[in-house]
Amino acid sequence: MAFAGRRDAPEPPDFGILKRLARDQLIYLLEQLPGKKDLFIEADLMSPLDRIANVSILKHEVDKLYKVESRPALSASDQFCFLVRPRVRTMRYIADIVNADKMSGRSRKYKIIFSPQKFYACEMVLEEEGVFGDVTCDEWSFYLLPLDEDIISMELPEFFRDYFLEGDHRWINSVARALQLLNSLYGPFGKAYGIGRCSKMSYELWRDLEEESEGDSQGRKPEIGNVFLMDRDTDYVTALCSQVVYEGLVDDTFRIKCGSVDFGPDVTSSDKSIKVLLNAQDKVFSQIRNEHFSSVFGFLSQKSRNLQAQYDRRRSMDIKQMKNFVSQELKGLKQEHRLLSLHIGACESIMKKKTKQDFQEMIKAEHSLLEGFDIRESTSFIEEHIDRQVSPIESLRLMCLLSITENGLIPKDYRSLKTQYLQASSYGPEHLLTFHNLKRIGLLTEQSAGETLTAVESKVSKLVTDRAAGKITDAFNSLARKSNFRAISKKLGLIPRVDGEYDLKMPRDMGYVFSGAYVPLSCKIIEQVLERRGWLGLEEVVRLLNGNEFSVSDSAVEDNPAWESQRVVLAVFLGGCTFSEIAALRFLGKERGCKFIFLTTAITNSARMMEAMIEAKA
């Protein structure tokens, strides 16, 4: 897809059908266990369920609802239904309940509904525990949850750790089936691009599924014309940076979960917390979500004055006008006023918290790391951050950002920072495994003494024989996890050239999402590939990113450039997507007259990435 001149972006497809399909299938599965039953729901399925089904739907022939917990279930029902993720620990929980019933002579029916799919390992555990013959198993194909008109999440936060750290490929099948579903409803996709090993495997499995199913999307006018798949490890830097667009800051500060956020008393100015749905339906939020935080207060102040002016109009109204105002406008104004108050409260709370954390100093250090200047000074800032024990997660994040931007830490710095971190009283030696995990995944690495990866590769390539090629390739698979950020940044121009002051209110490029200091690598790659309609001319960048790129077109679809779908791009992030990346691509879409739809395994940020690397305490 070559970018057209600027024009209005097309409307996104209607993703409401995804909710309806998921809801109808769940009702059908519950009906497969006829009669009254108790339903046990895994905790992290509660929020996604809340977005697609109300309590009356969940109560469909259901007597009582329980949360899957470690304590034994106390229930008098003759039928148990478990709605769960395919996890070994949950299978042991269910097996304990079944075996306890057997011991006490209690007879019940048991049904397990796996979401989004069943894994062989789960069946093996049930068999080992001696209960496989006592339960019936089914799958709820709940792959896709629309969070907003342009964001779809698979709600699989564990995908990042499972695939990129543990090398577990099980979720790739879920990604392929999610793509198959979207292609059947909104395709066929005319062009598919991607980069990363996981993306390539997901794409290939999806195409295999398409061939097996002989889907009926061919010949239909598509609503999505292009799909771009990207692995999270293609760009760790963007996910590690502090977010400064409003939606990103809200996520970093309050944690947006399944498209909604809990604002506490410090935001609501009351003794209660309020759960707020953050999407395009919120008239206030929709106008500030993609804005740099420095612009938000001014906008909210002006909005408040405009709202007050609309209220003040009542004074000059006659009785008829007042009736119309009350019946048609007042309710909407009150709702807008409530939302305005909440977002002003959120901004004030963010400001207080960031002031305590020396946010400006942290941003300054991050910008220095991104640009490659004052590295010693930034390292000293990180050491001070560790010493003050501000936040164990933040300290890890800063170390990882230093490592990736510098292609690994020099051994002296690596040992020093690691020792300081582990000796900090509130952090502790239990993080030894965390450092091991960060090293394995390529987030926090140590340079070989006196040599960069490129230098080592150069020497080995001169010495290697065909006989040793296999072993050398395996050895470099682990070495290749190191970053080439500085070289990639230079090739793609990720650090904007500053001529005067960068105008954050009227940004000129995607770099505004990081205060004009850095254009997100992931978004720049997508922009360049779509502009070139492939990877031609980006060979050096691909080499630095360790390859696994692809570009495949469906000529039957691509030959219809008049279709609006050619300006709709499905951006698929495997391992998580940040709100900064979403804001950047929304900006690019407006500039280029196209529409980006986001499919992600989960919404992520730097804290979630770091937490995924920490070993859970037994």
Q: Are 564 and 13 in contact, with CB atoms under 8 Å apart?
A: no
User: Is 269 in the same domain as 349?
Assistant: yes
User: Is 460 in the same domain as 372?
Assistant: yes
What is the identity of the amino acid at 133? G
Instruction: Tell whether 515 is covered by a domain.
Output: no
Structure confidence at residue 220 (pLDDT): 72
Summarize pLDDT for 289-313 with one digit per residue, the tens: 999 999 998 999 898 887 777 666 6
pLDDT averaged over the chain? 88
User: Is 368 in the same domain as 469?
Assistant: yes
Instruction: Tell whether 448 is covered by a domain.
Output: yes
**Domain encompassing residue 308:** 259-356
Instruction: Tell whether 162 is covered by a domain.
Output: yes
Instruction: Tell whether 87 is covered by a domain.
Output: yes
| Residue where a domain terminates, one of 141, 163, 181 | 141
User: Is 264 in the same domain as 322?
Assistant: yes
Instruction: Tell whether 499 is covered by a domain.
Output: no
CATH code of the domain covering residue 340: 3.90.830.10
CATH code of the domain covering residue 40: 3.40.50.2060
What band does 231 get if pLDDT is binned at 50, 70 and 90? Answer: very high
Q: What CA–CA distance (Å, rounded) separates 291 from 295?
A: 7
Residue 142's SS3 state is coil
User: Is 107 in the same domain as 162?
Assistant: no
Residue among 509, 563, 522 nearest 226 (CA): 563
Instruction: Tell whether 245 is covered by a domain.
Output: no
User: Is 532 in the same domain as 606?
Assistant: yes
Q: Are 38 and 78 in contact, with CB atoms under 8 Å apart?
A: no
Structure confidence at residue 182 (pLDDT): 97
Q: What CA–CA distance (Å, rounded) separates 351 from 534?
A: 43
Instruction: Tell whether 366 is covered by a domain.
Output: yes
Q: What CA–CA distance (Å, rounded) separates 551 from 203?
A: 11
Q: What is the pTM of this model?
A: 0.90
- The CA distances from residue 577 to 60, 146, 348, 523, in Å, are 35, 14, 26, 11
User: Is 274 in the same domain as 367?
Assistant: no
DSSP H helix total and E strand total for the chain: 28, 14
What is the identity of the amino acid at 212? E
Within 10 A of 480 (CB to CB), how many other CB atoms are there?
15
User: Is 426 in the same domain as 457?
Assistant: yes
User: Is 116 in the same domain as 92?
Assistant: yes
Partner residues linked to 451 by β-bridges: 448
| Residue where a domain terminates, one of 428, 458, 479 | 479
Instruction: Tell whether 60 is covered by a domain.
Output: yes
CATH code of the domain covering residue 463: 1.25.40.850
User: Is 54 in the same domain as 123?
Assistant: yes
Q: What CA–CA distance (Å, rounded) separates 394 from 396?
A: 5
Q: Once rounded to an integer, what is the mean pLDDT over residues 411-419?
A: 95
Summarize pLDDT for 553-567 with one digit per residue, the tens: 876 665 555 566 778
User: Is 295 in the same domain as 200?
Assistant: no
The count of structural domains within the chain is 4
| Residue where a domain terminates, one of 94, 119, 141 | 141
Summarize pLDDT for 443-470 with one digit per residue, the tens: 999 998 654 444 444 444 444 444 444 4
User: Is 411 in the same domain as 452?
Assistant: yes
